[in-house]
Amino acid sequence: MIKAENIRKSFGTLEVLKGINLEIPQGKVYSIVGASGAGKTTLLQILGTLGKPDSGEIYFHNKKISAFSENELSAFRNKEIGFVFQFHHLLPEFTALENVCIPAFIARVPKPEAEKKALSLLGYLGLTDRIQHKPSELSGGEKQRVAVARALVNNPSVVLADEPSGNLDSANRDDLHDLLFKLRDDFGQTFIIVTHDDNFAERSDKIIHIRDGIIV
C-alpha cells in the first residue's frame, strides 16, 4: 500500500536518512523504533507527506506522491492519511464530537454523515458520554482517543502516529495500545507508529529499527 524507495534526507551537513526502502501492506501495525535523532520522526513525516525527501520516492497505492500538485497533495493528505501526535492538537474551543468532525467537514462530508461517523467512532473508543466535552475537560487518555477518532473519521488508508502514548501514564498507555490493535483486527486499519515503548513495538506486526539513518 505504501512504498518508500531509497529515501534520503539531510539536515544541513547531517544525513538523517541514508536510503530507506520500505513497503507497508494494508491492515498491519508497523512500529518505527530507534535512538533519539535516528531519523524516526523524519521518516514518519516523509511517509505522511508532511516532509519531502531530498531524493527517493513515496508511492501510495502505486501513485507517485511527487507527481501531485500542492493542492492535490493537501486533499490527498486530508482524505488518505490520519495523524495522531504526542500532543493531541485538538482545538480547545470545540467539543470532542466537533473536533472529530472537522477533517470530515473539510473533506465536504455532509454534516449528518460526518456526525454519524464521528459518533460511531467515539462510541467504539468508549467516549460516548464525553462527546460534548471540550479538550480541557478530558483526561490525557481521553484526549488521545479523541485524536485517534479524528484521525479515523475520513476512513484513511493509514494512520501515522508519533509517540501517541508518550504523554500517558501506564494504564492509559496500555488502553490506547489495545485500541490500536483492536482497530487493526476489527477494521483492517493500517498504522505506522513511532514509539519508544518496547512492549508496544513487540506487539506490532513488524518493527522497523532505524540506526544511523538506515533500517537495520
Residue 182 neighbours by CB under 8 Å, 6+ apart: none
Q: Where does this chain touch another protein (CB under 8 A) — which range of 7-15, 20-28, 120-128, 175-183? A: 7-15
Return the number of the residue (14 or 27) whose C-beta is nearest another protein. 14
> CA of 181: how far to CAs of 65, 108, 121, 162, in Å?
28, 29, 15, 16
Return the number of the residue (87 or 187) whose C-beta is nearest another protein. 87
Q: How far is the CB of 205 from another protein (least distance, A)?
A: 26
Instruction: Tell me the three cell numbers of residue 51.
Output: 516532509
Return the number of the residue (43 or 184) whose C-beta is nearest another protein. 43
CA dihedral defined by 146, 81, 103, 111, rounded to 10 degrees? -100
Instruction: Tell me the three cell numbers of residue 205.
Output: 506486526
Neighbours of 111 (CB within 10 A): 10
Smallest CA-to-CA distance from 203 within 187, 186, 180 is with 180
Contact 211, 39 (CB under 8 A): no
Considering only residues 8 to 27 of the shown chain, the ones binding another protein according to CB under 8 A are 9-12
Considering only residues 54 to 93 of the shown chain, the ones binding another protein according to CB under 8 A are 54, 70-71, 73-74, 77, 83, 89, 91-93
Q: Where does this chain touch another protein (CB under 8 A) — which range of 48-56, 57-65, 187-195, 199-207? A: 48-56
| 111 binds another protein, rule: CB under 8 A | yes
| Residues lying near another protein in the complex (CB under 8 A) | 9-12, 37, 41, 45, 49-51, 54, 70-71, 73-74, 77, 83, 89, 91-94, 98, 101-103, 105-108, 111
